[in-house]
Amino acid sequence: MVQEFYKKLVKSIYENEGTFLKCGSDNYSYKQLRKVLEGFLWQFSQIERQPIVIIAEKSLEMYAAIIAIILTNNIWVPLSPQIGAKRLSSILNRVNPKYIISDEITYSKLPSLEGTLANNIVIFNHLLENAKRLKPNTLKDVVVSEETAMIYFTSGSTGEPKGVLISHQSYIVNVTDMLRIIDYGKNKVFADIHDTSFVISIPVIFPCIVLGGT
């Protein structure tokens, strides 16, 4: 099921020529998504099973990075751009991410980090500057169903934020069931109104891409 789902995901990305993302007055096509995705795929294919934190506002680069992290068998850790200093420090120290990826504006507002974690921060555009391009069909089939695909952190209202590990199989079963139960139709527009640090983002982002939506 897992490999079949990713094949459908990649096929949709490469067969669609319409609009992938509408963000304010800006429109980005699936062709533009492919170009950015291939840069991230090359970068992330150099590592494996590593946590990669994304703290950023929604953008073409953010969505491309999420897909690339998953396809290269690394672990996506979404955090809110509005995260507080204490919470951010606590989570990063526990996760010890390979990269902390952000955008220029979000990065300028983040609490300062000290030590080795500060060296792991990379701005989207900087990561892509010297990246080569790698197509998804050249990746090894290294994804194991039971392995962790993403880590979502709880609000921490009852103490320390808890990292919930979500496997490839777990979230794909959820998305596949939604695609089976709900008649979304092709080429529809999905409203991604939630912060990606909320798990409700999963059944918005992935069905949209599989169905060639916007």
For 75, other C-beta atoms within 10 Å of its C-beta total 22
SS3 (DSSP) at 121 = strand
Q: What is the distance between the alpha carbons of residues 198 and 200, in angstroms, rounded to a whole number?
A: 5
pLDDT at residue 118, as a whole number: 65
Q: Worst-scoring range by mean pLDDT, 13-27, 32-46, 60-74, 134-148?
A: 134-148
What residues does 130 pair with on adjacent strands? none
Give the tens place of pLDDT for each residue, 46-99.
888 999 999 999 999 999 999 999 999 999 999 988 888 888 888 888 888 999
Q: Above 90 in pLDDT, residue 186?
A: no
Residue 66 identity: I
Range of lowest pLDDT (3-17, 111-125, 138-152): 111-125
| pLDDT at residue number 159 | 66
Find residue 53's DSSP bridge partners.
Answer: 77, 100
Query: At which residue do the structure tokens 């979500």 appear?
Result: 166
Cα 121 to chain centroid distance, Å, stands at 16
Residue 82, φ and ψ in degrees, nearest 5: -95, 15
CA distance 177 to 172: 8
- The Cα–Cα gap between 29 and 151 comes to 29
Identify residue 198 by its one-letter amino acid code: F
User: What gap in Å lies between CA 133 and CA 153, rounded to an integer?
Assistant: 32
State the average pLDDT for the chain: 88
Query: 2-18 as b/e, with b when 16 or more CB fall inside 10 Å?
Result: beebbeebbebbbebee
Position 188 scores a pLDDT of 87
What is the average pLDDT across 94-117? 82
Q: Give the mean model confidence (pLDDT) for residues 198-202.
A: 87
3-state secondary structure of 139: coil
pTM: 0.92
| HSE-up (13 A, CA, CB side) for residue 137 | 7
Distance CA 160, CA 78 (A): 17
Q: Give the H or E element holding residue 104.
A: helix 104-109
> How many C-alpha atoms does 196 have within 13 Å on its Cβ side?
20
User: What is the predicted pLDDT for the residue at 22?
Assistant: 94
